[in-house]
Each structure stands twice: as structure tokens, then as C-alpha cells.
Amino acid sequence: MTATSLGTRRRDAAANPAVRARWILVTLGALLLAVMCAYVMLGPVIFGPDQVWKALINQADEVFHRISVWEVRVPRVLIAALAGAMLACSGAFLQSVLRNPLAAPATVGVTQGAVLGAVLALAISYGTEGAMDDLNAFVPMAAIAGGLIAGGLVYALSYRRAGTDPIRMILTGVIVAAAVSSVTSFIVLVSGSTIDSIVRWLVGSLGTRTWDHLIFLVPVAVLILPLVVMVIPLANALQLGDATSVSLGLRTEVARGIILMTAVVLAAGSISVVGGIAFLGLIAPHLARTLVGSDLRRLLVCSALVGAIILVSADLLARVFSLDWIPFWEIQTESGSRVPVGAFTALVGAPFFLYLMRERMR
């Protein structure tokens, strides 16, 4: 084999997105692990790796180490990673299947539906015996139901004799999202006093999230995973357009329905635990697409990793900014976390998304 052919081959391997994607995914995986470790170590009290380890195996030097690591930071970081990944996967599916770069859980009404479900549950139970706070499993369930109903409503409203059409679906989604949001606002106004926990649902927060929430989130993720794997080839075919996917032997309407349902469950499940985190479901798939391209076999894994990294890092930053070292920063709520992570992603997400769109639409 000559030197040139070796060189060509190496260049080919570098150009091959499948090969490049492998390295990108490994790197992202390592990065996720790194931010998750940082997340567990950093906080009001900074732990070294040895202290974290001791706390994990229940031999902490002091009791509060164990509580801080095992009861607070570990479940919260796991929730952040899982919820971020699910939200990003949902966005990736929606963008591919609706063939629209603006498609995301929040633009098809799923986010608003899930938030309405949660807010409704909180408002109804307010003032009753053992009033529900976020710790009750009834709230996530109401949220997931709200997301599913909103998703189903958008699908049904955009359905015509010939089936659904991506553009009609996005437009319907935007309208349903706006309508549902106004219902939520109304309920918030009427119910008055539960503002604090409701606001955290509206903007999305990981404050006070514990093992109880993770135990709710994990089954949703585990149940939906086989479906996610199964619909990847369908979504790959469907993103080539309806005519081409029929040519390839896809029952387009059935496939679109199944994929959308998968996306809705992913988003609703995620939102039911962390609330309506802004922009994540929109930005993570975009970033992933610039890294590994549009083939969903790679795009989906990459979106999941990017989504997890973003939400873990954002919540880490939100926690850091909530510390006392900034003297004029006195946002304090009844719960521990002062800046909800959703406020952070919204603040950073909007300009970043604008930048991303400008770059890609050159």
C-alpha cells in the first residue's frame, strides 16, 4: 500500500461522518461525566473526590456530607441529565419528522400542556389537607397527562382526510401552545398563593428534586426507550419527505403518528419532573446536528448527550449563582434553589439560538 493511498484512506475516514461521529460521541460522553462529577463536588460546600466517594459508600466524615451528596446532589444531577436528554431527543424527533428547524416540544404545545397539567394539580390541591407540593407524584402525573393531551389535540386538529401535514401541524401547535398558556396564566392569577411552586413549574427548576422524582422519571425513560430505538429508522425515512418515504415502503401516516407520540412522551415525561425548561428542546438538536449531521442514528444519541450536558451545566451554574458570594444577589425562595435553571436556559438560550440560526442560514 502506497503512502498516498494510506493518506487518502485516512482523509476518507476523517470525512466519514460515521467515523467522526463515534469520536464526537465518546468525547461528549466524557464531557457529560465530567460536568456531572463537577456538579456533585461543587456547591455551598465543596467536596473533594475522596469525600464524595466516602459519602456515596455511606462512610462520610460528617453526616451532612452524606445528606448533601446522596440526598441532594446525586439525584438532582441524575434527573438533570435524564430530563435534558429526553427533552433533546424529543426535539430531534420533532425537527426531523416535521421537517422544520423550529419544531420543538414548546412549539407544538406539549410543554405548555404539561405545565398546565402540573399547575392545575398544584392549584386544585392548594389549601387542602396535605397540600401538594412538588414532592407529590400526582403533579408529575398530571403534567404528563397534560402533555399527552396537548400533543394529541394538536395532532387531531391538524388531521384532514389525507392525513397530517407538517406545516399545518406546526401552525396548529403554535396556536394550541398560546391558548394553553393563557389558560395557565388564568389559573395562576386565580389561585393566587401557590405562586412560588407554580412559577418553578412555569420556568422549569431542579430545586427540591429528589429520588422521588427520579423514581418517577426512570420508568418513563425505560418504557419509552425500545420505542425510541424502533422509530429511528422510520424517522430517517420520513425526513426525506412523504413521497420518498412511501417509495421506501413506509406507511407515512402511521409512522408519523408513532414518532410524534414517542416525542410527546419523551417531552412530557421530562417536563413532568423539571418543568418547562426553555429552549433546551430546540437548541440541543441544532447543536447536535452541526456536530454529527442529520442521520438520526447518530443525531439522536448526540442530542441526548448535548441535552444532558446543557441541563447539568445550566443547573450547576444556576446553583453557583445562587450562592452568597454575590453580595447584591438576594433572590431567595422558600426552597433552597434561588435561581431556577429554566430562567438560566431562557436567558442564555434565546441569544444563542439567534446566533445559531444566523450561522446556519448563511
Partner 1 sequence: MTEKQPMKSDPAFTTDQISTGYGSHVVSHRLSITIEHGTRTALVGPNGSGKSTTLKTLARLIAPLRGAVYLSGQDINRLPTRQVARQMAILPQVHEVPAELTVMELVEQGRFPHVGALGMLRRRDDEAIQDAIRMTRLSEFIHRPIDTLSGGERQRAWMALALSQQTDILLLDEPTTFLDVGHQLDLLELVSGLNRDRGVTIVMVLHDLNHAARFSDRMVALSGGDVVADGTPAEVLTPRLLRDCFGVDASVVADPNTDSPMCIPHSPIFSGDEENATNG
Residues 99-118 that bind partner 1 (CB under 8 A): 99, 101
| Pattern 71-100, partner 1, x by CB under 8 A | -------------------------x--x-
User: Residue 344 is placed in which grid cell?
Assistant: 438560566
For residue 278, the minimal CB distance to partner 1 (Å) is 23
b or e along 245-265 (b: 16 or more beta carbons within 10 Å of the residue's beta carbon)? Answer: beeeebebeebbebbbbbbbb
Residue type (1 letter), 17: P
Establish if 326 lies at the interface with partner 1 (CB under 8 A). no
**Is residue 46 classed as helix, strand or coil in its secondary structure?**
coil
CB nearer to partner 1: pick between 10 and 251: 251
- Which among 292, 272, 281 is positioned nearest to 141, based on CA atoms? 272
Residues 261-300 that bind partner 1 (CB under 8 A): 289-290, 293-295, 297
Establish if 189 lies at the interface with partner 1 (CB under 8 A). no
- Residue 162 has phi, psi (to 5 degrees) of -80, 0
Please tell me the count of residues contacting partner 1 according to CB under 8 A: 33
CB nearer to partner 1: pick between 34 and 167: 167
**According to CB under 8 A, which one of 246, 350, 354, 357 is a site residue for partner 1?**
246
CB nearer to partner 1: pick between 191 and 294: 294
C-beta separation of 204 from 133 below 8 A: no
CB nearer to partner 1: pick between 183 and 240: 240
For residue 5, the minimal CB distance to partner 1 (Å) is 15
Establish if 243 lies at the interface with partner 1 (CB under 8 A). yes
Q: Alpha-carbon distance 101 to 98, whole Å? A: 9
* Per-residue DSSP letter, 128: S
Contact window for partner 1 (CB under 8 A) among 86-94, 217-225, 230-238, 315-323: 230-238
Q: Alpha-carbon distance 104 to 178, whole Å? A: 14
**According to CB under 8 A, which one of 185, 247, 326, 350 is a site residue for partner 1?**
247
Establish if 233 lies at the interface with partner 1 (CB under 8 A). yes
Establish if 239 lies at the interface with partner 1 (CB under 8 A). yes
Establish if 256 lies at the interface with partner 1 (CB under 8 A). no
Establish if 17 lies at the interface with partner 1 (CB under 8 A). yes
CB nearer to partner 1: pick between 107 and 236: 236
For residue 301, the minimal CB distance to partner 1 (Å) is 14
CB nearer to partner 1: pick between 122 and 283: 283
C-beta separation of 272 from 143 below 8 A: yes
Q: Alpha-carbon distance 38 to 35, whole Å? A: 5
- Which among 201, 242, 28, 49 is positioned nearest to 114, based on CA atoms? 201
C-beta separation of 91 from 103 below 8 A: yes
b or e along 119-154 (b: 16 or more beta carbons within 10 Å of the residue's beta carbon)? Answer: bbbbbebbeeeeebbbebeebbebbbbbbbbbbebb
Count Cα neighbours of 357 within 13 Å in the Cβ-side half-sphere.
11
Establish if 360 lies at the interface with partner 1 (CB under 8 A). yes
CB nearer to partner 1: pick between 19 and 195: 19
**According to CB under 8 A, which one of 72, 102, 240, 348 is a site residue for partner 1?**
240
Establish if 165 lies at the interface with partner 1 (CB under 8 A). no
Cα–Cα distances in Å, from 284 out to 167, 212, 248, 269? Answer: 22, 27, 29, 17
| Binding residues for partner 1 (CB under 8 A) | 12, 15-17, 96, 99, 101, 161-162, 229-230, 232-233, 236-237, 239-241, 243-244, 246-251, 289-290, 293-295, 297, 360
